[in-house]
Amino acid sequence: MGLTVAPVNAWFLAWIALAPLWVLVVTAPQKITTPLFLSLAWGVGYHGIALFWITGIHPMTWMGVPWLASLAIAIFCLCFITLWGAALVASWAISLSLINRRSRLTSWVRVLIGTAIWCGLEALWNAGPLDWSNLAYTQSPYNLAILHLGQISGPGTVSAAIVVVNGLIAEAWMSRKEDKKLLYMPFVFCLAFHLIGFSLYNLPLNQPPETALKVGIIQGNVPNQIKLYPEGLRRAIAGYTTGYLNLADQKVDAVLTPEGALPFYQSDLLQSAFVKAVKEKGVVAWIGAFGEIKGGYTNSLFTITGNGEIFSRYNKVKLVPIGEYVPFENIIGGLIKRLSPLDEHQIAGVPNQIFDTPFGRAIAVICYGSAFPELFRYQAAAGGQFILSPSNDAHYSAAMPAQHHAQDTMRAIETDRWAVRATNTGYSAFVDPHGKTIWMSGHNTYEVHAATIYRRQTQTLYVRWGNWLTPLLLILSAITSTFTRFGASRL
């Protein structure tokens, strides 16, 4: 399963990679330790491989962190986040194993319960501070047809389809001598899921000319190592100002810069050469900078109008663990402080923000927030007409920004919106509501690009009702399990 995402991108393996674990969990001996260890091994393999790019934070000597301490932080981050993801798999395996032992479950009931538990755990994990690699994103951005199931009930719908097919493969293997008809079911369901997604994928996009918006992207390519130092500040001001003037001459309606493109507080931002260029050209700019707030600062996206004034502001909601705040600080905060001299005071924005612009309401989510679909769904339901996703994926290998692009591709499909991605070092991109990447930048390159997007006011079933499928599956599973157990006890 770890090979399904960037850099390998073998997305098709997701449809078979869970089946062996399913067989082992169901057929495991009575000791609960067996499914526990098996599932932890599977989870470490998946999340450890998929998230190995986290080690790219090392070395952090440019931040004043000693080399050995930097290495320790990188190893700790990889191990902790990998085990956090593996805990989901272990929770699923133990739950399925216990329910299966207490009731005489048929193959179909086991598939229903196994799928419901997995989707419920993914929803629970996504409600917390640490989440990235759910099963749905293994299909992005390549299997666009199946990703359109996300329009029905979010990414959980795609995960459910993957678990169902894997479960049916496992059940077919275990029942191959008793029930040969079950052998065909994985193919039937996989085909059915793809046909549903393909029908949604082929719906035409209604794009009236009056909804068009020509947006420019500047990918500044300012490495984190120099970003906060005089050389980096000069490079940022020069690169973003020149790029803005270039795009203004191309008659764009607005320009989007990456997360923290100009590392100034808002009061200093308004006095910068970039904002002076905005006053000169009169083209709206969305600028990544720092906002001032009591007790600290925010990582924000500002709308600067042609007169050089702030029209709106969006504060980053999901902060990067360790880098921007310490998760579970009461538990591991002391360890982090012993390893690192960093002192972060970044404050998260509230989840229910809206982001108005001179062109209508937008959906704005900064960097790590791309992994949390509810942030997009809320703003789409509140009238957001297009997605702005500024990020800074510098200091990592190309696998990380590729996975980040995969997340935003899913969000564009789920909300049926055009997405504009501006990153510091790549990959910046334009994505249409069907998940097609219209343009993508290079990695570790300075680039300026403009494209036309369209404002949309449609609302998918997911935008209107949220993740309704997971509660439904859990309710059906509880009812089915209860009746099955009751029937077994009477026998």
Q: Catalytic residue numbers?
A: 259, 316, 367
Backbone angles phi, psi at 429, to 5 degrees: -165, 165
Going by C-alpha positions, the residue among 479, 426, 430 that lies closest to residue 450 is 430
Integer CA distances (angstroms), 79 to 51, 52, 308, 429, in order: 10, 10, 46, 31
Give residues with Cβ within 8 angstroms of 158, minimum separation 6: 135, 136, 139, 146, 147, 149, 150
Q: Please state, in angstroms and as integers, the Cα–Cα distance from residue 205 to each residue in 140, 182, 296, 434, 461, following that order.
A: 20, 39, 43, 9, 16
Amino acid at 402: A
Complete DSSP assignment for 240-254: HHHHHHHHHHTT-SE
Q: Rounded CA gap, 369 and 299, in Å? A: 12
Q: Are 61 and 67 in contact (CB under 8 A)?
A: yes
Over 15-67, what HEC string results? HCCCHHHHHHHHCCCCCCHHHHHHHHHHHHHHHHHHCHHHHHHCCCHHHCCCH
C-alpha R_g of the chain = 24
Asked if omega into 59 is within 30° of 0 (cis), the reply is yes
DSSP character for 283?
Answer: -
Q: Which DSSP state fits 444?
A: S
Q: Which 8-state DSSP code applies to residue 345?
A: -
Q: Reduce the DSSP state of residue 457 to 3 states and report it.
A: coil
Structure tokens at 200: 């949604």
Angle at 220 between CA 216 and CA 224, to 5 degrees: 145
CB 137 within 8 A of CB 446: no
- In the structure, how many helices (H) and strands (E) does the chain have? 17, 12
DSSP reduced 3-state for 337: helix
Burial of 85 per CB tally in 10 Å (0-12, 13-18, 19+)? buried
Phi, psi of 408 (to 5 degrees): -65, -30
